[in-house]
């Protein structure tokens, strides 16, 4: 799938979704916390363990074998947002899914719009008000949220089929996309490396050789371009300066390293049968938004992504200086 710019209506819809997504107030946070405590007590688990076990059991199955699943990471600047604020790619993925499903029902989905994603999102695990209501420190609350959403994200990837769309320029090494979703997709026999498609173009600041070769979907689905002291790092400038034989050797080594790492990937299965009967016992409010439609290349540069809606990504992302840009102007509105 060659990257194209996103239609303006997708960007506008994503902005509306962001503005409509409000954190839980104190009353709502107390309701969520009380339900979580009561249900966890009934099954003899801590809140932390119950939330993780629940994430192992929520329904993230695909409605049809040919439904295209969207994945996302980072946020992007938007001309209508103040400096320092960004538009999470989750909302772009949501708007994309909405748009696709309006044309053909059940043709597209994103994690937070699945039945399980809505259920976990209704717990507002990233919200500070919920952390406070549960007597969690901010750090512990984020750890609980990250563990639950990482678990659900991996299961979502394991339940995906066919071609998938990734709304990010690449995978940052500390992200859920890199650590949970991509390994699950690469080892998923119903997806595999060749079906992982990045919506956004590679960074415009990369040398042309790097854009042409490192920008290929299979490379971006395996490599990381941010941390030079972490595995599978490739520096675009250094790579482009190498002769062809050395560049090919770099890519061959990358593939070998990923194959070796993926051999240790384990699918997620429920830890115990304890919570089976109560996996749906916590009802934390309305079902949430309808699964949105895929959005295309807007040409925004990724930056730290604020937690929203219970998202599958931690509230912090890569520093702007270390993050590959998307290489298109923020005013662009083409489609991928």
Segment 229-239, tens digit of pLDDT: 999 999 999 99
- Rounded Cα gap, residues 216 and 206, in angstroms: 13
Give tens-digit pLDDT for 237-267. 999 999 999 999 999 999 999 999 999 999 9
To the nearest 10 degrees (0 to 180), the angle between helices 89-103 and 8-20 is: 120
Question: Rounded to an integer, what is the distance from CA 330 to the centroid of its chain?
Answer: 21
| Structural domain count of the chain | 1
Q: Which residue has the higher pLDDT, 81 or 325?
A: 81
Task: With cut-offs at 50, 70 and 90, classify the pLDDT of residue 98.
Answer: very high
Token pair for residue 36? 């979580």
Length, in residues, of the chain? 336
2 lies in some domain = no
User: Which residue range is the domain that position 232 belongs to?
Assistant: 8-313
- Comparing C-alpha atoms, which of 223, 180, 186 is closest to residue 202? 223
Res. 293: pLDDT tops 70: no
Q: How far is the CA of 68 from the CAs of 105, 111, 115, 118, 153, in angstroms?
A: 11, 11, 16, 18, 15
Q: What is the pTM of this model?
A: 0.82
To the nearest 10 degrees (0 to 180), the angle between helices 26-42 and 47-55 is: 90
279 lies in some domain = yes
- Rounded Cα gap, residues 194 and 186, in angstroms: 8
333 lies in some domain = no
Rounded average pLDDT over 277-301: 36
How big is the chain by its Cα radius of gyration, in Å? 20
Write down the pLDDT at residue 24: 96
323 lies in some domain = no
Q: What is the DSSP pairing of strand 75-76 with strand 87-88?
A: antiparallel
Exposure of 156 in the CB half-sphere (CA atoms within 13 A)? 31
Write down the pLDDT at residue 299: 36
Write down the pLDDT at residue 60: 96
39 lies in some domain = yes
Give tens-digit pLDDT for 31-64. 999 999 999 999 999 999 999 999 999 999 999 9
322 lies in some domain = no
Write down the pLDDT at residue 86: 87
Token pair for residue 50? 């119950």
Task: With cut-offs at 50, 70 and 90, classify the pLDDT of residue 88.
Answer: very high
Write down the pLDDT at residue 187: 96
Res. 277: pLDDT tops 80: no
- Rounded Cα gap, residues 247 and 295, in angstroms: 33
127 lies in some domain = yes
Q: How is residue 229 annotated by DSSP?
A: T
Write down the pLDDT at residue 77: 81
329 lies in some domain = no
């Amino acid at each position: 799938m060659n990257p194209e710019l996103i239609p303006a209506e997708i960007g506008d819809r994503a902005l509306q979704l962001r503005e409509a997504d409000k954190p839980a107030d104190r009353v709502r946070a107390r309701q969520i916390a009380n339900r979580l405590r009561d249900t966890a007590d009934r099954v003899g688990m801590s809140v932390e363990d119950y939330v993780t076990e629940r994430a192992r059991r929520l329904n993230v199955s695909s409605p049809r074998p040919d439904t295209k699943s969207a994945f996302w990471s980072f946020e992007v600047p938007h001309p209508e947002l103040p400096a320092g604020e960004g538009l999470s790619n989750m909302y772009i993925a949501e708007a994309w899914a909405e748009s696709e499903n309006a044309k053909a029902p059940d043709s597209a989905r994103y994690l937070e719009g699945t039945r399980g994603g809505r259920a976990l999102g209704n717990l507002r695990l990233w919200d500070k008000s919920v952390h406070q209501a549960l007597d969690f420190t901010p750090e512990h609350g984020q750890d609980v949220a990250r563990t639950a959403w990482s678990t659900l994200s991996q299961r979502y990837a394991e339940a995906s089929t066919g071609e998938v769309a990734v709304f990010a320029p690449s995978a940052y090494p500390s992200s859920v996309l890199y650590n949970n979703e991509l390994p699950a997709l690469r080892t998923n026999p119903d997806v595999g490396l060749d079906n992982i498609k990045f919506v956004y173009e590679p960074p415009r600041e990369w040398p042309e050789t790097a854009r042409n070769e490192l920008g290929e979907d299979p490379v971006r689905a395996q490599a990381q371009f941010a941390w030079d002291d972490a595995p599978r790092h490739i520096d675009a400038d250094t790579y482009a300066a190498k002769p062809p034989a050395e560049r090919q050797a770099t890519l061959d080594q990358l593939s070998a390293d990923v194959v070796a790492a993926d051999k240790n990937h384990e699918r997620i299965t429920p830890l115990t049968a304890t919570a089976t009967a109560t996996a749906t016992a916590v009802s934390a409010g309305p079902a949430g938004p309808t699964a949105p439609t895929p959005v295309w290349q807007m040409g925004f540069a990724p930056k730290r992504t604020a937690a929203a809606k219970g998202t599958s990504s931690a509230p912090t992302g890569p520093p702007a200086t270390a993050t590959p840009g998307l290489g298109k102007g923020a005013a662009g509105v083409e489609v991928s």
